[in-house]
Amino acid sequence: MLQRKWLSVLLSVALMLGLAACNTGGGQQGDTSTAPGQEANATKPKLKVLYPSQPEDYNTYPVAAVLEERTGYKVQYDMLPADNPQDKLNIVIASGEEYDAIAVRGTSADKALFADYAVRGALTDLTPLIDEYGPNIKKALSEVTLDALTIDGKIYGIGNRTMEFVGGGLLIRQDWLDQLGLPLPTTVDEFVYVLEQFQEKDPGGNGGQNIPFSILGTDPFPANISGAFGLTNAWNEVDGELLPRALAPTLEDYVAFMNDLFQRKLLDNDFVINKVANLKEKLTNGQAGVIPTTWAEVTPLVEAIKKNHPEAKLAFIPTLQGADGQMGLSAASGFDRITMIPKSAKHKEDIIKWIDAMLEEETFKLVVLGEEGKHYTYENEAYVPINPIFTDERNRANNFLIGLDEEKYPIYWQARVRKDPVMFEAYEFLNMKQPEEAAQRDALRLAPYLPEFSKNSQSLDTLSNDTMVNLIFGSTSAGSLESFRQRFNAEGGEATVQEVNDWYKTSGN
Amino acid sequence: MLKKRNAKDWLLDGFIYLFMIALAVMTLTPFLNLLAKSVSEEWAVVSGKVTILPIGFQLETLKFVVTSSNFTSSLGISALVTVIGTVMAILLTAVTAYPLSKPQIPGVSFILILFVFTMLFSGGIIPNYLLIRELNLLNHLGSLILPGMISVFNLLVMKSYFEGLPEALEESAKIDGARTFTILFRIILPISSPVIATISLFYAVGYWNDFFSAMLYISDPALKTLQIYLKDIVINADLAALGMSPDDMMNLPGEGVRAAAVIASTVPILCVYPFLQKYFVKGVLIGSVKG
B251 min Cα distance to partner chain A (Å): 8
Instruction: Please give the interface size between A and B, counted as residue pairs whose CB atoms are below 8 Å apart.
Output: 172
Distance (Å, rounded) from C-alpha A314 to C-alpha A289?
Answer: 10
- Lowest mean pLDDT, pick from A17-26, A153-162, A269-278: A17-26
Instruction: Give strand ranges (E) for A115-204.
Output: 150-151, 154-155, 157-161, 168-173
Distance (Å, rounded) from C-alpha A331 to C-alpha B59?
Answer: 39
Contact yes or no for A82 and B130 at CB 8 A: no
* Residue at A125: amino acid letter: D
Per-residue model confidence (pLDDT) at position A199: 93
Residue A33 has pLDDT above 80, yes or no: no
Establish whether domains A35-164+334-417 and A168-331+423-443 are of one fold: yes
CATH superfamily of B85-220: MetI-like (1.10.3720.10)
Give the mean pLDDT per block of 10 residues along chain B (291 residues).
Answer: 76 94 94 91 85 87 86 93 95 94 91 92 86 91 92 92 89 91 91 88 91 90 89 64 61 81 87 76 50 45
B210 min Cα distance to partner chain A (Å): 14
The pLDDT confidence band at residue A501, using thresholds 50, 70 and 90, is: very high
The string of pLDDT tens digits covering residues A321-356 is 998 888 999 888 888 899 999 999 999 999 999 999
**C-alpha pair distances (Å), A110 with each of A52, A102, A147, A283, B243:** 11, 12, 17, 34, 10
Q: Using alpha carbons, select from A164, A154, A69 the residue that is nearest to residue A117.
A: A154
The string of pLDDT tens digits covering residues A41-78 is 457 899 999 998 887 889 999 999 999 999 999 999 99
Per-residue model confidence (pLDDT) at position B255: 81
Residue A291 has pLDDT above 90, yes or no: yes
pTM of the model: 0.79
Per-residue model confidence (pLDDT) at position A17: 42
Contact yes or no for A416 and B250 at CB 8 A: yes
Residue A19 has pLDDT above 80, yes or no: no
Question: If you measure CA to CA, which chain A residue comes closest to B225?
Answer: A81
Partner A contacted by B120 (CB < 8 A):
no
Residue A128 CB contacts under 8 Å (≥ 6 apart), including other chains: none
Query: Degrees (nearest 5) of the Cα angle A216, A217, A221?
Result: 65
Contact yes or no for B131 and A12 at CB 8 A: yes
Distance (Å, rounded) from C-alpha B94 to C-alpha B90?
Answer: 6
Query: How large is the ipTM?
Result: 0.77
At the topology level, CATH places domain A168-331+423-443 in D-Maltodextrin-Binding Protein; domain 2 (3.40.190)
Per-residue model confidence (pLDDT) at position B154: 93
Distance (Å, rounded) from C-alpha B65 to C-alpha B232?
Answer: 13
Orientation angle between helical segments B255-270 and B193-209, nearest 10 degrees: 160
Question: If you measure CA to CA, which chain A residue comes closest to B216?
Answer: A88
B273 min Cα distance to partner chain A (Å): 29
Q: Which CATH code of 3.20.20.80, 2.40.37.10, 3.40.190.10, 3.90.110.10 fits the domain covering A35-164+334-417? A: 3.40.190.10
Average pLDDT over residues A122-139: 93
The pLDDT confidence band at residue A16, using thresholds 50, 70 and 90, is: very low
Indicate the domain borders of chain A: 35-164+334-417, 168-331+423-443
Contact yes or no for B47 and A308 at CB 8 A: yes
Q: Using alpha carbons, select from B63, B62, B18 the residue that is nearest to residue B37.
A: B62
Per-residue model confidence (pLDDT) at position A35: 39
The dihedral built from the CA positions of residue A102, A106, A107 and A111, taken in this order, carries a sign that is positive
Partner A contacted by B123 (CB < 8 A):
yes
Indicate the domain borders of chain B: 38-67+235-283, 85-220
The burial of A320, by beta-carbon neighbours within 10 Å (0-12 exposed, 13-18 middle, 19 or more buried), is given as buried
Secondary structure in 3-state letters for A438-469: CEEECHHHHCCCCHHHHHHHHHHHHHHHHHHH
Residue to test with chain B: of A104, A216, A284, most B Cβ within 10 A: A284
Orientation angle between helical segments B255-270 and B60-67, nearest 10 degrees: 70
Per-residue model confidence (pLDDT) at position A110: 85
A88 min Cα distance to partner chain B (Å): 6
Question: If you measure CA to CA, which chain A residue comes closest to B107?
Answer: A2
Contact yes or no for A417 and B245 at CB 8 A: no
Average pLDDT over residues A439-467: 84
Residue A477 has pLDDT above 70, yes or no: no
Higher-confidence residue: A208 or A210? A210
Contact yes or no for A91 and B126 at CB 8 A: yes
A358, A67 contact by CB (below 8 A) = yes
Per-residue model confidence (pLDDT) at position B243: 52
Distance (Å, rounded) from C-alpha B42 to C-alpha B16?
Answer: 40
Per-residue model confidence (pLDDT) at position A247: 93
Distance (Å, rounded) from C-alpha A307 to C-alpha A301?
Answer: 10
End-to-end CA distance of chain A: 67
Partner A contacted by B251 (CB < 8 A):
yes
Which of B215, B221, B255 faces A77 most closely, judged by CB atoms? B221
